[in-house]
Amino acid sequence: MRLLDGIKNPSDLKKLNASKMQILCEEIREELIRTISKNGGHLASNLGVVELTAVLLRCFDLPQDSVIFDIGHQSYVYKLLTGRAERFSAIRVKNGLSGFPRTYESEYDLFSSGHSSTALSSAIGLARAKLLNGDQSKVIAIIGDGAFGGGMVYEAMNTIDSSLVNLIVILNDNSMSISKSVGGISQYLLRLRTDIGYSNTKKIVRDAMDKTPVVGKYLMNTIIKSKAAFRRSIYDGRLFEEFGFNYIGPVDGHDVLELNRLFKNIKNFDGPMLVHVNTIKGKGFAPAEANPGAYHGVGQFNIPEGSKDISDEDSFSNVFGKLLMELADEDSNICSVTAAMKYATGLNFFKEKYPDRFFDVGIAEEHAVTFSAGLSRGGKKPVFAVYSTFLQRGFDQLFQDVSLDSMDVLLAIDRAGLVGEDGETHHGLLDVSILSSLNSFSIASPCNYAELEYWLREFSKQKGPRAIRYPRGREDTRLRGYSPSGDIFDLITKEKAADFLIISYGRIIAEACMAREKLVKSKIPVDILKLNIIFPIDNNAIIKASGYKNIIFLEEGSERGGINELFLKRLTDIHWKGTYKAIAISGYVKHGSVTELITDCGLDADSIVKEIKNWQI
């Protein structure tokens, strides 16, 4: 029997000695690799926090003590050790465990997290509440180095003071992001290193070693080899201490004994404390250690061979990225912007060819939006490629810095609509509601690669706020032959008059067309109004639609504030008297495959057919 099978809750970890803890960690890694190879998920980040998570839960008293993960995609080990090991094989599968912390899943999950840089704010609030309640138990926030690119972390750190005696922050530094994403910190450390006091001390030590016979040169070489670690320890500590933390580190995040000693000691210390832990992303799986970026989020893979691709070659993201690079050949003012997602959004092609016009601002979507506005004001043509779910973080900047002054900014909104296994925090269901509320944006929603290429070319020539939204992954093979008309909308109809009109856009057009075929076979004529530019709504589209008695609007996005609501308002403005129904998404959608979720939301062809047949009765 595996040790892992005997861990029903964190208290069971206290029964294990150091050697058994090490065996347990090996078992956890085997379970992670085996399960994620079948289900997909975040592999490298979880392999990197095995010892850190296991020893942390062993030393503290959960659920009295509280653990909060930033982003949360590195919480798989935590799930395994907090009573969910028996369900772990179904992680990211419909009706199975989520790949992120979810409050409905366990008492140990305190927040349903999924976006970066939020954990410290949550932890400070919870720590304050505990103290007000007379509760001295600890609040522990685990934050990756990449999260320090988000400004929210610094807003939170600005509120740290010595009264937060129950707060512990663990900085999980896997050397993947901090030097790149936190350029200001790097410059701050550089200034400290070039301080005159530091320089004078270094000279004194060097001179002394040169004058020391026999061992002087050996000692000097030893000092040179260790000075990088020495500087990091001294100066990172000074930085965080200036924000009000008591700093400890760096600590080896894979040394069970060292971590155990550390956590047992600091459990009794008064905070606020920041523990700097160094980990190796992908630890224990050679392909992931060699290329942690490729194994950050993976699909299914064969364990001996590993995951072959950093991103799917055949995808909307890469079609977009390659064409944008070509457009940049023709227009030297085109620039690309990403928030730490160059591979995932297809901008790696642009970066390779035009590095001077490529800008990765780190995990800082708010800054990316306003930065793009600044590029526009300077005469450039910025294209900000961003996941729909992450664009939500920049709403105020979209309003004030782009929309208000009609800046020449093009948004390439990736992962629009249902994204599948990452669930509630990652579905792209709000971008249409957000952008249409700002009035100034033109929004295109292509259904296939050909339309994406057409509208990207068209929008690259236009000015003002524009957005192109497209789904995750590959085009639907059912839409592969659909050629772009170049019109704002297309009416798919036959000569025989139809009482029913389906209105939709994007990839759901495939379901609409399939439903139409089935309905026609049942002697129910149906036409389709396919919106290519979904906002602003074209007057001629309203006029065309008003000629039908019954309209059903299909929208893979939020029902509230969606195009379906705006379209209905426009119809009522011209006193249309027909019957109108909308099938859109209301509430929060959990994880599952995209196909499963489309069916659950009633947007699949069979559900549409059933709706219209029942309607006809």
Which 3-state string (H, E, C) describes 421-477? CCCCCCCECCHHHHHHCCCCCEEECCCCHHHHHHHHHHHHHCCCCEEEECCCCCCCH
Output the CA angle 449-454-457, nearest 5 degrees: 120
Q: State the average pLDDT over residues 497-508.
A: 94
Per-residue pLDDT at 232:
47
Q: Do the domain assignments include residue 310?
A: no
**Residue 281 annotated in active site:** yes
Q: Is 393 a catalytic residue?
A: yes
pLDDT at 190 over 60: no
186, 154: one domain = no
In this model, does residue 184 exceed pLDDT 60?
no
Instruction: Pick the closest to residue 376 from 366, 384, 387 (CA basis).
Output: 384
Can you tell me whether residue 419 is helix, strand or coil?
coil
Beta-carbon contacts of 437 under 8 Å, excluding residues fewer than 6 positions away, are 561
User: Which residue among the candidates 92, 393, 530, 570 is catalytic per the annotation?
Assistant: 393
Pick the more confident residue, 294 or 233: 294
Residues 364 and 467 in one domain: yes
Residue 308 inside a domain? The answer is no
Instruction: With respect to residue 51, please indicate whether it lies within any of the assigned structural domains.
Output: yes
Which among 281, 380, 466, 469 is annotated as catalytic? 281
Is the previous residue joined to 63 through a cis bond, with omega within 30 degrees of 0? Answer: yes
Same domain assignment for residues 504 and 566: yes
pLDDT value, residue 89? 92
Same structural domain for residues 80 and 138?
Answer: yes
Residue 461 annotated to the active site: no
| CA terminus-to-terminus distance, the chain | 60
Quick: pLDDT tens for 25-61: 999 999 999 999 988 888 888 999 999 999 999 999 9
Of 80-94, 282-296, 483-497, where does mean pLDDT reach its minimum? Answer: 282-296
C-alpha separations of 438 from 397, 419, 441 in Å: 11, 25, 7
Examine the domain organization and report whether 438 and 522 are in the same domain: no
Is pLDDT of 178 > 90? no
Quick check: 309 pLDDT over 70?
Answer: no
CA distance 6 to 250: 32
Domain count, the chain: 4
Write the CATH number for 506: 3.40.50.920
Distance separating alpha carbons of residues 84 and 104, to the nearest angstrom: 13
Spot the catalytic one: 31, 365, 451, 511: 365
Does 273 reside within a domain? yes
Q: Are 421 and 592 in contact (CB under 8 A)?
A: yes
pLDDT classification of 236: cutoffs 50, 70, 90:
low
φ/ψ region of 600 (left if φ > 0, alpha if ψ in -120 to 50, else beta) reads: alpha
pLDDT digits (tens, 9 = 90+) for 57-73: 999 999 999 999 998 88
Over the stretch 96-155, which tens digit does the pLDDT of each residue have?
Answer: 999 898 999 999 999 888 888 888 999 999 999 999 999 999 999 999 888 887 888 888
Listed ranges 165-169, 243-247, 280-284; the one with the highest mean pLDDT: 165-169
Considering the domain architecture, whether residues 204 and 266 belong to the same structural domain is answered as no
Cβ partners under 8 Å of residue 292, min gap 6: 44, 48, 174, 176, 281, 282
Residue 304: inside a domain, yes or no? no
- 209 Cβ neighbours under 8 A, 6+ residues apart: 216, 217, 219, 220, 223
Higher pLDDT, 432 or 158: 432
User: In the structure, what pLDDT confidence band is assigned to residue 394 with cuts at 50, 70 and 90?
Assistant: very high
Average pLDDT over every residue of 188-215? 47
**C-alpha span between 49 and 77 (Å, rounded):** 8
3-state secondary structure of 412: strand
Looking at the fold, whether 282 and 390 belong to one and the same domain comes out as: no
Q: What are phi and psi of 291, to 5 degrees?
A: -140, 70
Tell whether 88 and 136 lie within a shared domain: yes
Of the residues 190, 217, 235, which one is the last residue of a structural domain? 235
**Tokens 């659909």 -> residue:** 482
Same domain as 347, residue 205: no
- Residue 305 located in a structural domain: no
pLDDT value of residue 332: 97
Same domain, 205 and 251: no
Estimate the crossing angle of helix 196-211 against helix 216-242, to 10 degrees: 160
Residue 579: both structure tokens together: 């019957």
Q: Is the pLDDT of residue 420 over 70?
A: yes
pLDDT at 181: 38
Average pLDDT for the chain: 88
299 is a domain residue: no
CATH of the domain at 406: 3.40.50.970
Domain finish residue from 440, 456, 478: 478
pLDDT in tens, 436-473: 999 899 999 999 999 999 999 999 999 999 999 999 99
- Give the other-Cβ count within 10 Å of 386's Cβ: 26
- Between 241-245, 337-341, 465-469, 556-560, the lowest mean confidence (pLDDT) is in 241-245
pTM to 2 decimal places = 0.85
Percent of the chain at pLDDT > 90 equals 70
Same domain, 363 and 414: yes
pLDDT for 303 equals 76
Residues 459 and 546 in one domain: no
Between CA 263 and CA 269, with CA 267 as vertex, the angle to 5 degrees is: 120
Which of 303-312, 336-345, 563-572 has the least mean pLDDT?
303-312
Contact partners, residue 286, CB within 8 Å, separation at least 6: none
530 pLDDT more than 50: yes
Neighbour tally for 310: CB within 10 Å: 15
Whether 300 is in a domain gets the answer no
pLDDT for the residue numbered 402:
97
Q: Of 191, 208, 235, which one is at a domain's C-terminal end?
A: 235
Residue that has been written with the tokens 């008695």 in this structure: 549
Least-confidence region, from 10-24, 205-219, 280-294: 205-219
Q: Which domain holds residue 349?
A: 316-478
Residue 199 pLDDT exceeds 60: no
